[in-house]
Structure formats: C-alpha cells, structure tokens
C-alpha cells in the first residue's frame, strides 16, 4: 500500500507517518528529512536545498523530484510493503510529476491520499514547541508530547534540536508557502475523488485511530 500524507506544516504528518509505518511496515519517506540528512552529510542535494529551506520556501521541483526518485530507486527493497510520502507532493506540478513520471518508473500506484487538517492558529504553537531528533527525525513537543528525558529521543537516544526553519520569520513564510502552493492540492485530489480528510485537531492517538479506520475502507 502506498499513501500520500498531506497537511500544513505542524499538522502531524511526521508523527502519524512514523506510527503508520510501524503498524503497517511501510517505508516512511519524508522529503524534509531527506533534505536535512543530505545537508548533514554535505551531499549536493542538501547543500543546494538548504538556502530555500532556511527561508521557508519550497526547494525547486527539479531538485526535489530528482532526490525523491533517487531515494525510492535506491531503497526499493525497504519498500516491498509500500511507502508513505510525507511532505511530497507540495504543489500541483509535483503531483503531476509523481503521477506521470515517478509512479510509472517504479511500476506502482497510490492507494490513499490523506489530508490532516488542523486550524491555522494551532500550527504556530505546534511548530514553536517542536523538538526533532537529529538521528531518526522523530518529532516531540515540549508540551504536547514531551520526551521521557529532556533533549533525548525516546526512539533512538539521539539529540533533540530545534530546526533552523522553526524561527518566527521562517514559520510565517512556510505557512504562507503552504497556502499559496500546497493547499490547492486538496482540491486537486478531491476532484479526482481520491482525498480522505482526517481531523488532525485531536489527540495523536485519536488521529491515528481515524487514519487506521480510513485505510480499512
């Protein structure tokens, strides 16, 4: 099963993608994590992408599409049961590229498109309190989902940090970028009859339960 997980920055895509991937054995593919990992290893994709990410802008489609395809092709074995795309596609051109180039190349298709909806005013609180693991990308929240030991990842023991694009200016720009470029994808997939809305303004466990329920049908 292949799933697209959509939603604004801070909606809970990463949190839910990790839970789904554990439950269903799907590979979690986050383009944001791929860019951050690429930057850490000083890989060309990461260095080029960083200038855009710091400002809260989208990385150009050509670079993003190439990085994603490269990752999917190199990790085919880990995707035997399928994958969850978290943070891709982020505009209509990427959605078309996914449908017309990437999926045919991999010989597969998307089975579900889930949109996690959260009221805008709650996103800033979620983003400003988020702490992310440097090693595995798991996200925590200082108030809503604190780690057992402050500054340490429950999952892998890695160091928790605050992302470089989590300052006030970059967050405002990311929310704006979402409204301009990404929000239109809701209608794009709804028009195709492929969209499932998930209420993301509930506890993490309830959101997860709703996602599992929607995947049954």
Partner whose footprint covers residue 54, from Zn ion, ligand ADP, none (CB < 5 to 8 Å by kind): none
SS3 call for 84: strand
Residues 211, 20 contacting (CB under 8 angstroms): yes
Query: Residue 194 Cβ, how far from Zn ion at the closest point, in Å?
Result: 32
Residues classed as catalytic:
13, 90, 130, 163, 174
Q: If 0-12 CB within 10 Å is exposed, 13-18 middle and 19+ buried, where does residue 91 land?
A: buried
d(CA 30, CA 14): 8
- Closer residue to ligand ADP, CB minimum distance, 52 or 188: 52
**Tokens linked to 179:** 């409204």
Residues that bind ligand ADP (CB under 6 A): 7, 9-15, 31-32, 35, 52-53, 56-59, 64, 87-88, 90, 94, 126, 129-130, 139-141, 144-145, 165, 174, 203-204, 207
Nearer to ligand ADP (CB atom), residue 71 or residue 174 = 174
- Phi/psi of residue 133, each to 5°? -80, 130
The residue among 11 and 20 lying less far from ligand ADP, judged by its C-beta, is: 11
Of 4 and 191, which has the nearer Cβ to ligand ADP? 4
Minimum distance of ligand ADP from residue 16's CB (angstroms): 7
Residue 207 contact among ligand ADP, Zn ion, none, beta carbon within 5 to 8 Å by kind: ligand ADP
Closest residue to ligand ADP, judged by C-beta, is 32
Q: How far is the CB of 133 from Zn ion (least distance, A)?
A: 3
Instruction: Find, among 187, 165, 162, the residue nearest to 59 by Cα.
Output: 165
The residue assigned the tokens 């940090």 is: 161
Q: Under a CB-based contact definition with an 8 Å cutoff, are residues 186 and 150 in contact?
A: no
> Which residue shows structure tokens 């990085």?
67
Least separation in angstroms between residue 165's CB and ligand ADP is 6
- Among ligand ADP, Zn ion, none, the one that 99 touches (CB under a kind-dependent 5 to 8 A) is none
Closest CA to 27 of 5, 46, 58: 5
Among candidates 25, 161, 33, which has minimal Cα distance to 87?
A: 33
For binding to Zn ion (CB under 5 A), which residues are involved? Answer: 133, 135-136, 138, 153, 155-156, 158
């Amino acid at each position: 099963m292949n799933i697209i997980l959509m939603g604004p920055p801070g909606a809970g895509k990463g949190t839910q993608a990790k839970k789904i991937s554990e439950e269903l054995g799907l590979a979690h593919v986050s383009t944001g994590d791929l860019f951050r990992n690429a930057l850490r290893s000083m890989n060309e994709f990461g260095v080029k992408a960083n200038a855009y990410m710091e400002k809260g802008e989208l990385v150009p489609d050509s670079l993003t599409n190439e990085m994603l395809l490269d990752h999917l092709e190199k990790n085919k074995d880990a995707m035997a049961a399928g994958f969850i795309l978290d943070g891709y596609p982020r505009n209509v051109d990427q959605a078309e590229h996914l449908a017309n180039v990437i999926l045919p190349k991999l010989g597969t298709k998307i089975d579900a498109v889930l949109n996690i909806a959260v009221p805008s005013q709650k996103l800033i609180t979620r983003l400003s309190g988020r702490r992310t693991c440097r090693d595995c990308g798991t996200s925590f929240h200082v108030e809503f989902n604190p780690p057992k030991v402050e500054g340490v990842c429950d999952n892998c023991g890695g160091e928790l940090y605050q992302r470089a694009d989590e300052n006030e200016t970059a967050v405002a720009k990311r929310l704006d970028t979402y409204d301009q470029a990404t929000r239109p994808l809701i209608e794009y997939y709804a028009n195709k009859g492929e969209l499932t809305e998930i209420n993301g303004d509930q506890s993490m466990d309830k959101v997860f339960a709703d996602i599992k329920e929607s995947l049954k049908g």
